[in-house]
């Protein structure tokens, strides 16, 4: 049997929250409503989540099971493996967010790695290189330009509905890319079009985030985990330093806010849950077989974190799937084959399909 540890959001991957505007009143109202109902927000954390799964296995009378976690689910799976290894046969981690590393600076490092890999793939593809020779320079110029003078326009969400007003500023450009709101094969074309005064692809992608299905995201659980386990221990100057290292030359206002976690320090002051980093930011040291699957274009949880995390897991296998973004298994038949072979034979997964894999060819638009 396999148990799937997902994110604290039904049907979603790692949940990031961006607060817009000077006064984040919605989080305060949410917190007050939950607290008034008797909810102990500090009780919602990865330690308790892991204990719930350990108790569930026992209650169901299952001797051993396999664990698959993606995004925040990988953070939870590693916590579960560290604290309750009994009964875990094998662990598969997709788009790993290691508990000892995930933080606001982590978000900057991941964005840089994923975007660099995409740039390099375009350079390695002759048609993309010839058509879009200055992708990085173009994006850097647009981030600076829109940070100084944001663009406001109406755009129709890709999923349909009436046009909505969107604002494209420097941070919004990176957030759209990190969120994979633009298909990865279209990213070079979107950056090129933006540089030519055609922001429609970015605007439509930004509009996509304006529509949320009620109940889709567990905001309370998300904030309790993020504010107790990811945000503490790093000052605003640490986040700014990480932003400068990742994207030197970008405006400080953009560098100061981690991708898709903008103004999170302010939100966490409102959420007001205890710092749990001392018990959570701990490497998992285990001999249980562990499989890491990451996409090389993942800008949320960079593929390089898999190699670092695997160092303390003596029976681990690391697989990087070219051209895939966040949450690799649903997007890649090869990743699905590797996962299936790992669950069948944890000690000897078949990773042969990865050799020679290429990314989807990039979209080439007329000049």
- What pLDDT is recorded for position 243? 98
Give residue 216's pLDDT band: very low, low, confident or very high (50, 70, 90).
confident
As given in the structure block, the two tokens for residue 73 are 């689910």
Look up the pTM and report it. Answer: 0.93
* pLDDT confidence tier of residue 214, bands split at 50, 70 and 90: low
pLDDT digits 0-9 by tens, 58-108: 999 999 999 999 999 999 999 999 999 999 999 999 999 999 999 999 999
Locate tokens 């954390």: which residue?
Answer: 45
pLDDT (0 to 100) of residue 14: 37
Mean pLDDT of the chain: 93
pLDDT digits (tens, 9 = 90+) for 146-165: 999 999 999 999 888 899 99
Domains of the chain, each with CATH number or no CATH? 2-102+278-354 (3.40.50.1820)
Quick one: pLDDT band at residue 1, thresholds 50, 70, 90?
low
Q: Say which residue, 133 or 22, is predicted with more confidence.
A: 133
| CB-based contacts of 145, cutoff 8 Å, min separation 6 | 170
The answer, yes or no, to whether residue 282 has pLDDT greater than 60, is yes
What mean pLDDT comes out for the span 303-315? 98
Q: Tell which wins on pLDDT, 75 or 218.
A: 75
Is residue 366 pLDDT above 60, yes or no?
yes
Specify the pLDDT at position 165. Answer: 95
For residue 235, the Cα-to-chain-centroid distance in whole angstroms is: 21
Which two structure tokens, joined as six digits, stand for 174?
């990176």
**Is residue 314 scored above 60 in pLDDT?**
yes
C-alpha span between 82 and 77 (Å, rounded): 9
- Report the alpha-carbon distance of residue 288 to residue 121 in Å, rounded: 34
Please state the rounded mean pLDDT for residues 276-301. Answer: 98
Distance, in Å, from the CA atom of 95 to the CA atom of 332, rounded to the nearest integer, reads 13
Q: What is the pLDDT of residues 109-125, one digit of tens each?
A: 999 999 999 999 999 99
Distance CA 264, CA 227 (A): 8
pLDDT-derived band at 212 (thresholds 50, 70, 90) equals low
- 5-45 tens-digit pLDDT: 654 433 333 333 333 344 468 889 999 999 999 999 999 99
- DSSP code at position 286: B
Nearest Cα neighbor of 48 from 229, 216, 218 is 229
């Amino acid at each position: 049997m396999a148990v799937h540890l997902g994110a604290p959001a039904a049907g979603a991957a790692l949940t990031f929250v961006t607060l817009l505007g000077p006064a984040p009143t919605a989080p305060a109202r949410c917190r007050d409503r939950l607290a008034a109902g008797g909810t102990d927000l500090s009780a919602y954390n990865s330690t308790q989540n892991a204990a719930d799964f350990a108790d569930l296995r026992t209650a169901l009378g299952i001797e051993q099971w396999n664990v698959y976690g993606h995004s925040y689910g990988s953070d939870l799976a590693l916590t579960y493996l560290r604290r309750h290894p009994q009964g875990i046969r094998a662990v598969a981690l997709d788009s790993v967010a290691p508990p000892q590393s995930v933080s606001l600076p982590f978000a900057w490092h991941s964005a840089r790695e994923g975007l660099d890999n995409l740039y390099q793939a375009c350079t390695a593809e002759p048609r993309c290189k010839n058509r879009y020779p200055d992708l990085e320079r173009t994006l850097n110029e647009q981030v600076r330009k829109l940070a100084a003078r944001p663009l406001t326009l109406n755009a129709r969400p890709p999923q349909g509905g009436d046009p909505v007003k969107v604002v494209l500023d420097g941070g919004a450009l990176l957030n759209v890319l990190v969120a994979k709101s633009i298909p990865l094969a279209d990213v070079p074309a979107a950056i090129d079009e933006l540089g030519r005064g055609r922001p429609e692809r970015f605007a439509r992608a930004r509009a996509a985030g304006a529509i949320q299905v009620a109940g889709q995201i567990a905001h309370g659980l998300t904030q309790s985990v993020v504010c107790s386990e990811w945000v503490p221990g790093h000052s605003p100057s640490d986040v700014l330093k990480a932003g400068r290292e990742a994207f030197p030359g970008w405006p400080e206002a953009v560098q100061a806010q981690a991708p898709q976690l903008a103004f999170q320090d302010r939100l966490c002051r409102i959420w007001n849950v205890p710092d749990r980093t001392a018990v959570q930011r701990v490497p998992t040291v285990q001999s249980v077989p562990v499989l890491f699957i990451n996409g090389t274009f993942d800008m949320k949880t960079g593929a390089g974190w898999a190699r670092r995390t695997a160092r303390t897991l003596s029976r681990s296998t690391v697989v990087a799937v070219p051209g895939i973004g966040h949450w690799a298994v649903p997007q890649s038949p090869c990743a699905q084959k590797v996962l299936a072979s790992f669950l069948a034979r944890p000690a000897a997964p078949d990773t042969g399909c990865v050799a020679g894999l290429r990314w989807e060819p990039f979209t080439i638009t007329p000049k």
